[in-house]
Amino acid sequence: MTQISKLAVIEPGAQIGTDVAIGPFCYVGPHVEIGDGCILHNNVTVVGHTRLGEHNVFYQNTVIGEAPQDLKYQGQPTETIIGDRNVFRENVTVHRGTELGGSRTVVGSANLFMVGTHIAHDCIVGDGVILANQTQLAGHVCVEDGAALMALVGVHHFVTVGKFSYIGGMTPVHRDVPPFMKFAGDPNEVRAVNEEGLKRHDFTSEDIDVLKRKHRQLFRNSCSIAESLEKLKSQPEHNEHVAYLCDFMRKSCQGRFGRYLEAKRRDTRADRRHRMPAEVRED
């Protein structure tokens, strides 16, 4: 049975599924949909046009669907969409999308967001992702399936974090992170294949060995990434994972500042300027 504390505020229009638990001092806005089996511990806030899937758990002081921290945002009814079986620990914040950024922030399923993590407007987060304590995603970031970002990682806007990658703690991330790799340091670099992470996701030893060879060819020689990729064209890409890695790196090299999504951004400088409030525009 659904259990809603008498001290919670559920606005008319909110849609609450079955077997949902909502603790004291929670606030659920009028345009929110909460799927079956979700648990909202005390002091959780869910607002905006937000859809929560099934069996998500939200710990104290989590805020989902609030307005983006973007000066261009003018109050449009943008969305926050969250899948199933996610865990949001204390003080996690997820902001809704912006009109120019695609109008939605999307979080997949089976993710763990540890204390104080932030998912900004227009981010796309896949499945099976881990964001450790105080990790911060700027706007328009894409985190692919199975990626693990350790504590205090800061990710620049429009960065893509490749699937099954690992980012070491306290790493500032300004460019795309290759899939299947360990990425760390300041200045940061690709350190090695994320071997332990790949084993946990049932990659075969043969797949891992091939990725290790491609890692050496791409990231451990005197050539640029673009030159290394050109040389790899004549070599067989032995499996789907290597093909994905090479395709990812080709796109990244074509992007601005090492960020593939940066080249696809929809807003112009003039657009950004005119959408800002008059009091913050430059003369």
Q: How many CB atoms lie within 10 A of CB 62?
A: 22
Which residue intervals of 90-239 are DSSP H helices?
Answer: 195-200, 205-219, 225-232
Instruction: Tell me the C-alpha to C-alpha distance, in Å, between residue 82 and each of 9, 26, 47, 148.
Output: 21, 18, 13, 18
Does the active-site annotation cover 139?
yes
Q: Which of 35, 83, 139, 162 is catalytic?
A: 139
Reduce the DSSP state of residue 143 to 3 states and report it: strand
Region of 20 (left: φ > 0; alpha: ψ -120 to 50; beta: rest) is: beta
CA dihedral 156, 162, 166, 172 (to 10 degrees): -10
Q: Which of 70, 122, 145, 176 is catalytic?
A: 122
> Cα–Cα distance between 237 and 62 in angstroms, integer?
44
Does the active-site annotation cover 122?
yes
Q: Which of 41, 55, 118, 121 is catalytic?
A: 121
Does the active-site annotation cover 207?
no
Amino acid at 19: D
Which residue numbers are catalytic?
121-122, 139
